[in-house]
Amino acid sequence: MLVNLELLLRDAKQNQYGIPAANAWNEGSIRAAISAAENYKSPLILALYPAMADIFEFGKIAVRAAKTARVPVVVHLDHGQQYSDAVKAVRAGFTSIMVDRSTCPFEQNIAEVKEIVKFAHPVNVTVEAELGHVGQGSEYEETKNEGLTKPAEALLFVQHTGIDCLAVAVGTSHGVYAGKPELHFDLLKQLNQVVPVPLVLHGCSGTGDENLKKAIQLGITKLNLYTDLDKAGYSVLEQRIKQEEITGMRQAESAMLQGYREKLEYYIQLFGSNHRA
Ligand SMILES: [Zn+2]
């Protein structure tokens, strides 16, 4: 069933669980993610990133797969940085888009996000935006205290843009962390008190189970995952190669997708979204 973020995140917020937003990059990964969600009766957010796949052509494949899924699936544009990405996503049938203008000054971020909300909402497409900036894990030690989301700005941002959910910067990072992740839970708590829409956490891979569970208790409803799923896929492939079970590309691909699916199933249970579909 193809849905947007609105009802899913509202329910997650009310009942204090998190929904995984898994990056997918081809038809196999779409199917693996959907089967993980179906196996555990979990809602799912399929996050498609413009640098990983053609948003328009690939998006249509994801939309088709979501429509026939036995659980609610959101087809979501991840880090749409160009206006054209958002337009292509809506035309391909995406139900949700992230507009990432987090490196722009505050006023410009508001203005550009607002433009997207204006054309997305009338066609039932939900919008996520980011305030503050979640950086790259490789620069974690130098940048971990930079770009944190400010509560007072967050409230104004949501009021002025009309977005459906807000990605916050509270100490996580994209990719692999160089250093130990340190989350600012007091800040997250404040943000959850002042921001009227559900909160989103990017860079969940490598953040640690306890940190993620605590973040969910403090209001995070959507958790973005890629690196951990990728690593899990690769490690199943390595094991199978050692066991001399891989004789060609198709076995290699299915081993990787098995690792990806199992890791996603693990996170579904950790986040508590199992049996919420
Ligand atoms: Zn992200």
10 burial via Cβ count (<10 Å: 0-12, 13-18, 19+): middle
Model pLDDT for residues 225-237, shown as the tens digit of each residue: 999 999 999 999 9
**3-state SS, residue 75:** strand
Model pLDDT for residues 55-97, shown as the tens digit of each residue: 999 999 999 999 999 999 999 999 999 999 999 999 999 999 9
Q: Other CB atoms closer than 10 Å to residue 234's CB: what's the count?
A: 14
Identify whether the C-beta of residue 94 lies closer than 8 Å to the C-beta of residue 57: no
Please indicate if the annotation marks 112 as binding a ligand: no
What's the gap in Å between 187 CA and the centre of ligand 1? 19
Domain spans, the chain: 5-227
User: Taking residues 254-262, what's their average pLDDT?
Assistant: 98
Identify whether the C-beta of residue 238 lies closer than 8 Å to the C-beta of residue 177: no
Model pLDDT for residues 194-247, shown as the tens digit of each residue: 999 999 999 999 999 999 999 999 999 999 999 999 999 999 999 999 999 999
Please indicate if the annotation marks 175 as binding a ligand: yes
Q: Spell out the CATH class of 5-227.
A: alpha beta
Instruction: Return the pLDDT at 162.
Output: 98
Q: Which residue has the tokens 């328009």?
A: 56
Give me the half-sphere count of Cα atoms (radius 13 Å) on the Cβ side of residue 48: 34
Please indicate if the annotation marks 226 as binding a ligand: yes
What's the gap in Å between 47 CA and the centre of ligand 1? 10
Catalytic residue numbers?
78
What's the gap in Å between 21 CA and the centre of ligand 1? 10
Res. 191 pLDDT band, cuts 50 70 90: very high
Q: Which residue has the tokens 């690196």?
A: 227
**Nearby residues of 49 by Cβ (< 8 Å), 6 or more positions away:** 23, 25, 78, 79
Please indicate if the annotation marks 224 as binding a ligand: yes
State yes or no: pLDDT of 271 exceeds 90. Answer: yes
Please indicate if the annotation marks 79 as binding a ligand: yes
Model pLDDT for residues 95-123, shown as the tens digit of each residue: 999 999 999 999 999 999 999 999 999 99
Q: Other CB atoms closer than 10 Å to residue 206's CB: what's the count?
A: 19
Please indicate if the annotation marks 137 as binding a ligand: no
Backbone angles phi, psi at 42, to 5 degrees: -115, 145
Q: How far apart are CA 62 and CA 88, in angstroms?
A: 14
Backbone angles phi, psi at 252, to 5 degrees: -60, -45
What's the gap in Å between 70 CA and the centre of ligand 1? 27
Q: What residues have their beta carbon closer than 5 A to ion ligand 1?
A: 202
Nearest to 149 by CA among 129, 179, 163: 129
Nearest to 95 by CA among 161, 46, 153: 46
What's the gap in Å between 247 CA and the centre of ligand 1? 35
Question: Tokens at residue 42, please?
Answer: 């979990």
What's the gap in Å between 201 CA and the centre of ligand 1? 8
Res. 142 pLDDT band, cuts 50 70 90: confident
**What is the b/e burial string over 84-122, where b = at least 16 CB atoms within 10 angstroms of the residue's CB?**
ebbbbbbebbbbbbbbbbbeeeeeebbebbbebbeebee
Instruction: Return the pLDDT at 126.
Output: 98
Identify whether the C-beta of residue 4 lies closer than 8 Å to the C-beta of residue 222: no
User: Taking residues 251-277, what's their average pLDDT?
Assistant: 98
